[in-house]
Amino acid sequence: MKNLEDLKEQIRKALPELDVVIGWTDSFDPLHATPHFMRKEEDIDKLKVDALCVHNLATYLPGLKGKKVGIVVKGCDSRSVVELLQENLIKREDVTIFGFGCNGVVDQTKIRSIIGDVGNIEACELTDKEVTVTASGEVHKLALDEVLSDKCKTCRYPNAVLSDHFTGEEVATTATFEDGYKDLEEFEAKSTEEKFAYWLGEMDRCIRCYACRNACPMCVCRDHCVAQSRDPHWLSQEAHVRDKWMFQVIHAYHLTGRCTECGECQRACPVDIPILLFKKKFNKEIKEVFNYEAGLDPEATPPLLTFKNEEAKIKERDW
């Protein structure tokens, strides 16, 4: 990040009034970043912001209720913050948003499938166009475009949609809504049998760890999730693909019109199941039916979260 020092300065000024500011820092090897909880002045020195900072830190906000929290957000992450505000899951006055214009983050799965062995990363250098990775003594030059997350390639909101402090220049984009759903359209063109076979194959290796659920900023039931409730016992504890798949369908339904497509569910999956596709399907439907997109307007109510005692279209009293 070109303006990292500016961002650090903003955080430095704000930190005395806050319990914690969440950003990113170096992780176990040069190819990874990790969430960073800054509580003291010296923690700010370790802040890093670059294409390796994939994590959507908004996931932590509901768990920090009652605290004054600062959070560094990319455009997509800011939409999750907005969505949390819309649903009253966090309070605006408790959150200080440090936004910036994002040029995209890498997809570690893509890097791994190109380089192969990423077990011994010795160095990683990033430029606007390239990721240079040294692994086991071998230097790999990867075009950034080749290893960017799919969501970044069609991103329409690279800049934080809501922020208290914005760092650097805004990033321009020409992507359209349709651009982001081409993969889904390709998938939808398959026959029902093909789609079914695809999901049976992919879901079969699910280990039911629920990292997808816990990484999701909008998945706020967590400890009370239907997947593990004993009474009622909605899902069996079997390792059957039927139950694994059922959970993903429930997850997607619960997120319909709420999911901001940050992709954390898929990124968190330790066995690389492409579950974002489920969520995108439901979002596409919401756009078609309600012309609505999640996480853009803090004052809006997601279409499936409205409830009226007397729905205008149902004339119960006339029965």
Q: Write out the residues near other proteins by the rule CB under 8 A.
A: 20, 27-29, 32-37, 39, 55, 59-60, 63, 109, 112-113, 116-117, 119-121, 202, 205, 207-211, 213-215, 222-223, 228, 230, 233, 236-240, 264, 267-268, 270-274
Closest approach, Cβ 257 to other proteins, in A, equals 24
Name, in order, each residue with C-beta under 8 angstroms of 167's C-beta and a sequence gap of 6 or more: 1, 3, 6, 7, 10, 98, 99, 100
Residue 63 or 139: the one with the smaller Cβ distance to other proteins is: 63
Q: How far is the CB of 110 from other proteins (least distance, A)?
A: 9
Alpha helices in 56-107 (DSSP H): 75-86
Judged by beta carbon, residue 112 or residue 156, the one nearer other proteins is 112
Q: Which two tokens stand for residue 68?
A: 């004054």
DSSP 148: B
Task: Tell me whether residue 15 or residue 286 sits nearer to other proteins (CB atom).
Answer: 15
**With respect to other proteins, which residue has the nearer C-beta, 113 or 132?**
113
Structure tokens at 109: 């799965």
Closest distance of CB 59 from other proteins, Å = 7
Alpha helix locations (H) across the chain?
Answer: 4-14, 41-44, 75-86, 108-115, 144-147, 150-153, 182-188, 192-203, 211-215, 241-254, 264-268, 276-290
Minimum CB distance to other proteins smaller for 116 or for 188: 116
* Shortest distance in whole angstroms from residue 265 CB to other proteins: 10
> What's the min distance (Å) between Cβ of 242 and other proteins?
12
Which pairs from 231-238 meet CB under 8 Å and 24+ separation?
none
Distance from the Cα of residue 149 to its chain's centroid: 11
